[in-house]
Structure 1
Amino acid sequence: MSKDTSLTKKKSGGKLPLGGLLAIIVLLALCAGAFMIFRDTTPPVVSIGPDTDQLGKGSTLSVKVDDPGSGLKSLEIYAVQGDKRIPLAAKTYPGGILQVQEDIPLDSGTMQEGQFTIEVTARDASLYPFGQAGTSKARKTYSLDLTPPRIYVESPVNNLNQGGAGLMIYALSEEAAKTGIQVGERFFPAYLQPGNAGKFLYYCLFAHPWDVPVKDFQPFIVASDAAGNSAKRSFNYHTNPRAFRQDKINLSDSFMEQTIPEFQGLIPAKQGSLLDQYLYINNTIRKENRARLVEFSRQTSPTMLWSGTFVRLPNAANRARFADARDYMYQGKKVDHQTHLGLDLASIQHAPVPAGNDGRVVFADFLGIYGNVVVLDHGLGLQSLYAHLSSIAVQTGDMVQKGQIIAHTGATGLAGGDHLHYGITVGGVPTQPIEWWDGTWIKHNITSKIQ
């Protein structure tokens, strides 16, 4: 009897009973099932754009959904306006996409102007909670504006000169997000004027740029509202062509040796010869400096800070004129061409420089080809520039009065001798300074319109 028992134990030793194996299999299956159920317990993340309150004609809605777990299963997008529920999109994603973005252009025939709500429902492919996929819902309310601003011209007569400036006064049916006068690729901002209850009145100083022939000069008033609706309108004007002088500048080694050291740190090391360095300054740095003038013009008062005619540097002789076309000659050969966009006024050495009119200092420092510079803002994008200064007597932010001494003439920057380079910019575009010394021109073209 004992012998049979021992044999039985030997035959079964080390083997798992069938019941235990089944229990392990069931346990693993339960673990796998639990993993599948609980591996994604986070619903999709939904964002609705754009991040604004107003939409207009041509606007696009953007719905972005992320689900890094089991992936997206379906997406529904509706617009709700009044008692209407308008389907905009219904998508299914059999592959379980982890991220999706749907861009939906607004059809002006689908909804009416006014408030509406975007409703988004996103479902992922998860099994949790039991029997129902993870679901996210999001809502965002917008106001739909399909009407562009209406433009009313208040200045029926506009006379300009090529290279000169003008003032346009107009009204809009609503406050604009952006408005002004477009001349080719140049934009001259307009500024909303205070104290006009119930009326959106704008002043816009603009220019007929010196480099735009009369036949190509086509200014338009443009306006866009907060919803992105835009309007465009032409207006009556007359402009006179102007012929500008031709000039030659002879470059010498001694002049370049004297001038270039002031620009060390601004010239790349690869620029080798004196001439190469000078041409880099006269071209690349010149373009950078003119771009800064456009930046300064945006730091302007929305109202006029100046009054009357602008004052001129006293007892000064005219040298280079506005829009002189200059050929730069070196050893008898033309090596460059630039346009002189200001007036050069020569007086005594280190002559005191008066502010042309009341204004605020927006820049007082070194500015490349202009050397030491003061830029005054007179409002509405009108600014005066004083360049090649030997010393500066004001600081950025200072308010100055007409005739106040702000600096002294010098020969800094690309100056061949002591003088004042005097410039006037409108919206950052250089214009003819002489107009602003002429009280009759100011009366007929500026102040009479305002009055």
Structure 2
Amino acid sequence: MARRKGQGSSRKGTFLVFLLLLLLAGGGTLYFLNAEGTPPQITLTPQTSYIGQDAQLEVALQDPDSGLRQVTVTAVQNGTRIQVLPPTDIRGGQWQQAFSLKNLGLREAPFELQVVATDRSWRRLGKGNIAQVQHQFTLDTTMPSVGVQSVHHNLNQGGSGMVTFSASEPLARAGVQIGESFFPAYQTENDDWICLFAFPYFATPGEDHPVLVAEDRAANKFRTGFTYHVNARNFPQDRIRVSDAFLQAKMPQFQNDFPEAGTLLQVFLQVNGPMRDQNRSWLREVGQKTVAKRLWEGKFLRLPNAARRASFGDQRTYVHGGEAIDRATHLGVDLASVARAEVPAANSGRVVFSDFLGIYGNVVVIDHGFGLQSLYAHLSKSMVQEGQEVTKEQIIGKTGATGLAGGDHLHFAMLVSGQPVNPVEWWDTNWIANNILSKWEYLQENAS
């Protein structure tokens, strides 16, 4: 009987050991499954060096494995720790929160922003994986000051202007705003700023005013007006007959762009409307391909021995079958010479576009610096490539009737940051001397 009792105790002990091993194995497996070692991912925006007190920051967290547990955001300046977001319990695999630095007592000086996040992993005795991100900022709450240097700003509706100014600190963005149109300013080698701008043809004198805008690295903004005078213009009215012969000759090339258009007339309406808008939008993008350097000298050249066929700002009404079908504004000067006439570069610069562009056909755009560009459209042939430097009077192509042109001619346009302006001003030596070069010379004299 004693031997049987001992055998029972032995079996019981073996069972307990087996059970313990089983529990340890299960616990180890459970720990392995819940103790993953990947910490949360932290994204802090914006990643700038300078920041204003009103700036909106955002922290975003991700932890798809074990889920998020807690986040804390702290600002540290001169050894003082300031709580921006107190320890916040969170759940789920994603989380984001926007916050500002207002009313935290930070001074205008460098500080460090620290973000600490933990997840729900069983690592660190159940405290989870920890992630930390630090970013150095400089708090700047003072808006820049700007001093306008140029004096006379005489403008024509649809024409160009130039303003020069100095700034009290480095700027991230500056320029002239007229309504919804913004014209960037560019810093010179002498740290002054130059802004070529347009008073757009669609702006209303007396209602739309040019405003100088300056924004520093911390997004503090300064706005000021400046003295100017603008002459209103009554743009000519023109009626353009759209014949069936024109539609049959010009619209087939655009049918693939508008397969839903059932007739050639419907194709024309799409080309003259939406495509025209798209092309002009593209030219505004091309207008950003410029350099902060003056590449041109003297007045701009006009196509030699050419008659003017259309003017800048013409208000066109398109007529088909005796009825008005569409309207558009002509934003260049049409010049007609002999067929396939050689086209000279109006001034020195760098080619920033040479390709087919919808209504304009084969186009060359030359950048002359500080946002000023010249455009040559409807070419039968382009003789330059993008990136090529050209000199004044260099032959860049030949006139033609590509795009929406009804006959061989050159559509010549001048653009300021992509906004078409009246080319006649840039053909005028006196206008350039009084409105542009005098301001450049003033900057150079004061720099020396």
For normalisation by structure 1, the TM-score amounts to 0.90
Task: Determine if contact 2:35/2:123 at 8 Å carries over to the other structure.
Answer: yes
1:435 aligns with 425
Please, which of 294, 319, 322 is the counterpart of residue 312 of structure 2? 322
1:71 aligns with 67
Task: Determine if contact 2:52/2:220 at 8 Å carries over to the other structure.
Answer: yes
2:143 aligns with 148
CA distances 1:403-442 after superposition (whole Å, capped 9, x unpaired): 2222222222111212111111111111111111111111
Q: What secondary structure does 2:286 align onto?
A: helix
Kindly name which structure, 1 or 2, has the bigger radius of gyration based on alpha carbons. 1
Give the whole-Å Cα distance in 1 for the aligned partners of 2:87 and 2:117: 10
1:355 aligns with 345
Please, which of 148, 166, 169 is the counterpart of residue 164 of structure 2? 169
Residue 27 (structure 2) pairs with residue 28 (structure 1): no
Residue 79 (structure 2) pairs with residue 83 (structure 1): yes
CA distances 1:266-314 after superposition (whole Å, capped 9, x unpaired): x222211110111111112211211121122111121111111111112
Deviation, 1:91, is 3.0
1:15-414 equivalences under 5 Å are: 17-38=11-32, 39-42=34-37, 44-50=39-45, 51-93=47-89, 96-107=91-102, 109-130=104-125, 133-194=128-189, 196=190, 200-265=191-256, 267-414=257-404
Note closer, same or farther for the CA distance 1:347–1:108 as it changes in structure 2 (3 Å cut). farther
Please say which of residues 23-32 and 370-379 is displaced more in the overlay: 23-32
Note closer, same or farther for the CA distance 1:138–1:413 as it changes in structure 2 (3 Å cut). closer
Deviation, 1:153, is 0.6
Deviation, 1:19, is 4.2
Task: Determine if contact 2:178/2:210 at 8 Å carries over to the other structure.
Answer: yes
Deviation, 1:104, is 2.1
Residue 415 (structure 2) pairs with residue 420 (structure 1): no
Deviation, 1:156, is 2.3
Q: What secondary structure does 1:442 align onto?
A: helix
Deviation, 1:18, is 4.5
Note closer, same or farther for the CA distance 1:307–1:37 as it changes in structure 2 (3 Å cut). same
Gaps of 5+ in 1: none
Deviation, 1:33, is 3.4
Give the whole-Å Cα distance in 2 for the aligned partners of 1:342 and 1:132: 70
Q: What secondary structure does 1:216 align onto?
A: coil
Note closer, same or farther for the CA distance 1:69–1:248 as it changes in structure 2 (3 Å cut). closer
Give me the identity figure in percent. Answer: 44
Note closer, same or farther for the CA distance 1:43–1:375 as it changes in structure 2 (3 Å cut). closer
Give the whole-Å Cα distance in 2 for the aligned partners of 1:147 and 1:339: 43
Q: What secondary structure does 1:213 align onto?
A: coil
2:446 aligns with none
Note closer, same or farther for the CA distance 1:32–1:270 as it changes in structure 2 (3 Å cut). same
CA distances 1:129-165 after superposition (whole Å, capped 9, x unpaired): 3475544444322222222221111112211000100
Give the whole-Å Cα distance in 1 for the aligned partners of 2:180 and 2:410: 30
Q: Runs of 4 or more off by more than 6 Å in structure 1? A: none
Task: Determine if contact 1:180/1:223 at 8 Å carries over to the other structure.
Answer: yes
Give the whole-Å Cα distance in 2 for the aligned partners of 1:358 and 1:131: 71
Deviation, 1:327, is 0.7
Task: Determine if contact 1:44/1:72 at 8 Å carries over to the other structure.
Answer: no
Note closer, same or farther for the CA distance 1:133–1:274 as it changes in structure 2 (3 Å cut). closer
Gaps of 5+ in 2: 442-448
Letter in 2 for 1:45: P
Task: Determine if contact 1:43/1:136 at 8 Å carries over to the other structure.
Answer: no
Please say which of residues 310-319 and 440-449 is displaced more in the overlay: 310-319
Task: Determine if contact 1:40/1:69 at 8 Å carries over to the other structure.
Answer: no
Number of positions where the alignment pairs a residue of Structure 1 with one of Structure 2: 435
Give the whole-Å Cα distance in 2 for the aligned partners of 1:210 and 1:124: 59
Give the whole-Å Cα distance in 1 for the aligned partners of 2:75 and 2:238: 66
Letter in 1 for 2:302: R
Q: What secondary structure does 1:374 align onto?
A: strand
For normalisation by structure 2, the TM-score amounts to 0.90
Letter in 2 for 1:224: E
Let me know the Cα RMSD of the aligned residues.
2.5
Give the whole-Å Cα distance in 2 for the aligned partners of 1:292 and 1:137: 43
Give the whole-Å Cα distance in 2 for the aligned partners of 1:431 and 1:131: 69
Q: What secondary structure does 2:171 align onto?
A: coil
Letter in 2 for 1:27: L
Note closer, same or farther for the CA distance 1:411–1:66 as it changes in structure 2 (3 Å cut). closer
Note closer, same or farther for the CA distance 1:247–1:79 as it changes in structure 2 (3 Å cut). same
Deviation, 1:344, is 1.1
Deviation, 1:387, is 1.3
Give the whole-Å Cα distance in 1 for the aligned partners of 2:126 and 2:382: 78
Give the whole-Å Cα distance in 1 for the aligned partners of 2:108 and 2:388: 47
Letter in 1 for 2:310: A
